[in-house]
Structure 1
Amino acid sequence: MEGMTPPHGHGGGGLPGAATTVLVLLVAAGGYLCAVRRAKRRNAVRGWNSWRSVSFLTGLALLGIALLPPLGHTAHTDFRAHMAQHMLVGMYAPLALALAAPLTLALRALPADRARQATAVLHSPPARVLSHPAVALLLSTGTLALLYFTPLYDTAMVHPAGSRLLHTHFLLSGYLFAHVMAGPDPAPHRAGVPVRLVYLGIAIAFHALVAQAMYGGFFVQIHAPVVQVQQGAEIMYYGGDVAELLLAVALVATWRPERRVRVWGKAERRGPDAAAAPYRAR
Structure 2
Amino acid sequence: MNMHDHHEDVIVIIPQLILAIPFLIGLVVYVIAVITSNRKYAPWPHYRTLFWIIGSVCAIMAVCGPLAERAHVDFTAHMFGHLLLGMLAPLLMVLAAPMTVLLRSLNVRTARKLTKLLKGTFVRVITDPVVASILNIGGLWLLYTTNLYASMHDHMVLHLFIHFHVFLAGYVFTVSMIYIDPTPHRTSYVYRSIVLVIALAGHGILSKFIYANPPYGVPANQAESGAILMYYGGDAIDVVIIFILCWQWYKVSRPRTSIESGYSAQGV
TM-score, normalised relative to structure 2: 0.84
> How far is 1:21 from its partner?
5.5
Cα–Cα, structure 1 residues 27 and 121, in superposed 2: closer, same or farther, change >3 Å? closer
Residue 232 in 1 paired to residue 232 in 2? no
Q: Which residue of 1 aligns with 2:184?
A: 188
> How far is 1:12 from its partner?
9.0
Residue 105 in 1 paired to residue 98 in 2? no
> How far is 1:75 from its partner?
0.4
Of Structure 1 and Structure 2, the greater helix share is in 2
Which digits, 9 at most, give the CA deviation of each residue in 1:139-185, with x for residues without a partner? 11111111111111111121122221111001100000111111411
Cα–Cα, structure 1 residues 167 and 114, in superposed 2: closer, same or farther, change >3 Å? same
Unpaired runs of 5+ residues, structure 2, are 1-7, 254-268
Correspondent of 1:32 among 16, 30, 33 = 30
Q: Which residue of 1 aligns with 2:70?
A: 74
Please give the secondary structure, in 1, of the residue aligned with 2:153. helix
C-alpha distance in 2 between matches for 1:251 and 1:163: 33
Map residues 1-282 of structure 1 onto 2, 5 A cutoff.
14-18=12-16, 23-43=21-41, 46-217=42-213, 221-254=215-248
> How far is 1:222 from its partner?
2.0
> How far is 1:254 from its partner?
4.9
C-alpha distance in 1 between matches for 2:183 and 2:9: 39
Larger relative contact order (CA 8 Å, sep ≥ 6): 1
Cα–Cα, structure 1 residues 201 and 48, in superposed 2: closer, same or farther, change >3 Å? same
C-alpha distance in 1 between matches for 2:90 and 2:84: 8
Report the AA paired with residue 48 of structure 1.
Answer: W
C-alpha distance in 2 between matches for 1:99 and 1:31: 16
State, as a whole percentage, how many aligned pairs show the same letter: 34
Deviating beyond 6 angstroms after TM superposition, the runs of 4 or more aligned structure 1 residues are 10-13
Unpaired runs of 5+ residues, structure 1, are 1-9, 259-282
RMSD: 2.2
TM-score, normalised relative to structure 1: 0.80
Count of aligned positions: 245
